[in-house]
Amino acid sequence: MRALDKKLLRDIRRLWAQSLAIAAVLAAGVMVMVTMNGALRSLSETRDTYYERARFADVWSSAARAPMSLVPEIAAIEGVARVEARITENAILDLADLDAPGMGQIISIPASGEPEMNRLILREGRLPEPGHKNEVVVSEAFALAHDFHPGDGFSITLNGQKRPLTITGIALSPEFIYSIGPGSIMPDDMRFGILWMPEDVLAAAFNLSGAFNSVTLGVTRGTDLEQVKDELETLLKPYGGTGPYDREQQTSNAFLDGEIMGLELMVQFLPPIFLLITAFLVNMVLSRLITLEREQIGLLKALGYSAWEVSWHYLKLAMLIGAVGIAIGWATGYWATIAIAEIYGEFFHFPYLVFIQYPAVYALSAVTGTGAALFGAVFAVRRVVQLSPAVAMSPPAPTRFRKGLFDRLIGVVKPRQTTMMILRAIGRWPLRAAMTTLGISMSAAMIVAALFMLDSFDELLDVAFVQVNRQDAILEFALPRPETVLDDVENLPGVMLAEGAYSAPARLYHGPRTRTVAIEGRRDGAELARVFDGVSRTEVPPEDGIVLEARLANHLDARVGDVIEVEFLQHDETRHRVILTGTVQTFFGLGAYMDQQKLSAMLGQEPQVYMANVMIDEGQEDALFKAVKDAPAISGITLMTTVRQSFDETMAESANISVIIYSFVASLIAVGVVYNSARIQLSERARELASLRILGFTRGEVSYILLGELFLLTAAAIPLGLWLGYILAAGMVESFDSDLYSIPLLITQETYIRAAGVVAGASIASALLVRRRIDRMDLVAVMKTRE
């Protein structure tokens, strides 16, 4: 073994703690890169493979009642490869293990038994046979929630008629990877399920023989979807078409895309932070090591070692640290990728998981990890090349200091001698102090970026379920009803208040921009479902105009006072001009609101309701549930308490996992920076501190001199980190913004305190480890060493 290699091993043994701290930071970055890339690719590949094998549709549209004779005309649209007309309705379910009514979305199965698109993957049993009116296939998530198996049964109300059903099969569908019931925002597999029944049975039950109310299209690659949707809308408009939409607007796929976008954000955001911190730490350690070994470097050069050989020796030290970090990151990243991919597979109800580990990701992580270590090393090693043997073997020239701001402050404040030493150390090495402060601040920023999600979800829940939606339940009607039906609803047991709601599919125009939404009609003075702005915390009544969700207004580039043109999709092509009277932020969906009376007048009809928002007496819930199960006009019920609870539990679990991960990662950064900084300062000032001990300074005073600087830098880093955390949180809010939901930017004082506490705790723990070395310092041995 060459002499320099033996020296390298001795250096590693001597610097093992500092090297391990740096390697841990790098390992975290490599782990995140491997894990997030692996999860992202596995999730994307699983989705794409599943969609292709199951022939996931490209375009969807609904209609009131369209004749089957229209199908050939739809198939003749240029670019359309497949067409499937079907029947889909909502229905009340009577489940033995559930007191409250359940709700199901029923989809027809063609007489051939195999859907042309959105093919079912049977997990158990078989498909229903044509003509068997009491057979049904249920979604796997719904079956698991109720422990259903083929042969089990429950009751359903189809268009006012209650009948028993027997489960013949349990299936998965690409259309419902993420299944959400009407009026809900989170999956509730206990109370909402997807059901598939024979087409002839549903046609007879809903008076749709020879007709359909839903159609899905598959198109050839390269087809202009917008043109296909326009032609499909033209064909369906006379039959009550509600406007086509593609995969981007399909709810299940949109949520899946949102999750993939979140993974992409983490891949882009987290690894660079770790790599930069790694480069900084390597530079700190090597710079100090080279300074201490200045005379050895001069001697090596005098003995014939070239500048490159000496430089390569120190670069190998950095590469060895990088190799350890990469190895740890690879191992932890591999197993973390498997765990996360399996979680996604279960959460999104995939029939299988295409687990992919691309060697290119590991290679990229190795290259970037090694590159970060070398990047930090190069700036330290370049001094080796510049030193001639004679200069290197001579004592370094005393550093020339100028009287700076800190020195002037010291002269004015006149602190204690120990404090004066701390302030002078910071003032004389400002760049090092600034980089240390920045490194510590990044750990605080990551904590804030993680914890703000909890604050945002609390705000979101308050706006969505306390301020905007105050109802206890939403009752849906199979067909639009006159407002007088609300009197019947209030006569149901336990209903204390009932308010109607109506929505009409429409296309909004503002200049060249357009958007298809459902306009909701609201009565002035409604208490249970309000047009409410979550930012200003005030009601925004539509009055004689229209109120838009802020994100929808931005899509249309519309401002308050602008004229919006409204075309109702289920009526003629007349465009009604309305004034935008206000905007609101409700965080869910792209809402549009008008006065119920004005909306009905535009539609040329008497005011109607599609659903009823109700307030319930908790003591009579059971009686109400029984009445709802037997009510023929009610096709669905959504319990808002359950929706709130489901959302709160799911988001809290997800947020808690994120908090744990981010807190661990932030602690790694803080420990890595503080510990290495303290060790370097100890090695630099060991002789000075030993001298102070001999002169009578106590261990506490000596520790204060060494660690006080780090505590001062940590104190400066925390507010900087909190500000950077706010910037990161704002960026995350912007990236998560979509048509389905948005996240409010809210960071509470408690979050800032918790972030500061984590960073301060990690810094104190690191400093205490170094203080033990001060207590064990051999004063005689230290004083014998040369400066």
Question: How does residue 412 score in pLDDT terms, banded at 50, 70 and 90?
Answer: low
In this model, does residue 376 exceed pLDDT 90? Answer: no
Instruction: Tell whether 337 is covered by a domain.
Output: no
Instruction: Tell whether 407 is covered by a domain.
Output: no
Q: Which residues contact 713 (CB under 8 A, 6 or more apart)?
A: 426, 433, 436, 437, 440, 677
Instruction: Tell whether 67 is covered by a domain.
Output: yes
Are 553 and 459 in a shared domain? Answer: no
Are 150 and 225 in a shared domain? Answer: no
pLDDT per position as a tens digit, 692-717? 667 677 777 777 777 777 788 888 88
**398-402, 596-600, 668-672, range with the lowest pLDDT:** 398-402
Position 658 scores a pLDDT of 66
Cβ-based burial of 772 (10 A; exposed 0-12, middle 13-18, buried ≥19): exposed
Is 367 within 8 Å of 280 (Cβ atoms)?
A: no
Highest mean pLDDT among 182-186, 228-232, 478-482, 640-644: 228-232
Stronger pLDDT, 271 or 293, i.e. the higher one: 271
Is 381 within 8 Å of 314 (Cβ atoms)?
A: yes
Stronger pLDDT, 57 or 289, i.e. the higher one: 57
pLDDT per position as a tens digit, 741-768? 777 888 888 889 888 888 888 788 777 7
In this model, does residue 399 exceed pLDDT 70? Answer: no
In this model, does residue 492 exceed pLDDT 70? Answer: yes
In this model, does residue 283 exceed pLDDT 80? Answer: no
Position 216 scores a pLDDT of 95
Position 668 scores a pLDDT of 72
Are 552 and 595 in a shared domain? Answer: yes
Are 157 and 64 in a shared domain? Answer: no
pLDDT per position as a tens digit, 185-219? 677 888 899 999 999 889 988 889 999 999 999 99
Instruction: Tell whether 334 is covered by a domain.
Output: no
Stronger pLDDT, 509 or 315, i.e. the higher one: 509
**343-352, 628-637, 644-653, range with the lowest pLDDT:** 644-653
> CA 560: distance to chain centroid?
31
Are 773 and 709 in a shared domain? Answer: yes
Instruction: Tell whether 535 is covered by a domain.
Output: yes
Instruction: Tell whether 664 is covered by a domain.
Output: yes
Question: How does residue 384 score in pLDDT terms, banded at 50, 70 and 90?
Answer: low
Are 582 and 711 in a shared domain? Answer: no
From residue 21, give the alpha-carbon distance in Å to each of 314, 766, 772.
18, 10, 17
Domain count, the chain: 4
Position 391 scores a pLDDT of 63
Averaged pLDDT of the chain? 82
Specify the pTM.
0.77
> b/e string for 270-304 if b means 16 or more Cβ within 10 A?
bbebbbbbbbbbbbbbbbbbbeebbeebbebbeee
Query: 282 in helix, strand or coil?
Result: helix
Is 214 within 8 Å of 88 (Cβ atoms)?
A: yes
In this model, does residue 57 exceed pLDDT 90? Answer: yes
CATH code of residue 234: 3.30.70.100
Are 644 and 533 in a shared domain? Answer: no
Q: Which residues contact 284 (CB under 8 A, 6 or more apart)?
A: 432, 435, 676, 677, 680
Instruction: Tell whether 709 is covered by a domain.
Output: yes
- Smallest CA-to-CA distance from 194 within 176, 208, 209 is with 176
Stronger pLDDT, 499 or 690, i.e. the higher one: 499
Stronger pLDDT, 387 or 346, i.e. the higher one: 346
Are 768 and 679 in a shared domain? Answer: yes
Are 670 and 526 in a shared domain? Answer: no
Strand pairing partners for 614? 473, 498
- Smallest CA-to-CA distance from 167 within 190, 142, 192, 188 is with 142
Query: 375 in helix, strand or coil?
Result: helix
Final residue of a structural domain among 225, 246, 267: 246
Expressed as residue numbers, the domain containing 216 is 57-85+208-246
Position 566 scores a pLDDT of 92
Are 646 and 727 in a shared domain? Answer: yes
Highest mean pLDDT among 301-315, 336-350, 711-725: 711-725
Give the N- to C-terminal CA distance of the chain in Å, as an integer.
Answer: 31
* Residues above pLDDT 90, as percent of the chain: 21
Final residue of a structural domain among 616, 649, 678: 616
Instruction: Tell whether 474 is covered by a domain.
Output: no
Position 403 scores a pLDDT of 61
Are 649 and 785 in a shared domain? Answer: yes
Final residue of a structural domain among 188, 216, 246: 246
Question: How does residue 105 score in pLDDT terms, banded at 50, 70 and 90?
Answer: very high
In this model, does residue 629 exceed pLDDT 70? Answer: yes
Residue range 133-142: average pLDDT? 92
Position 787 scores a pLDDT of 47
Position 242 scores a pLDDT of 86
Angle between helices 307-347 and 3-14 (to 10 degrees): 50
CB-hemisphere CA count at 13 Å for 130? 9
Are 767 and 672 in a shared domain? Answer: yes
Tokens of 449: 């970026």
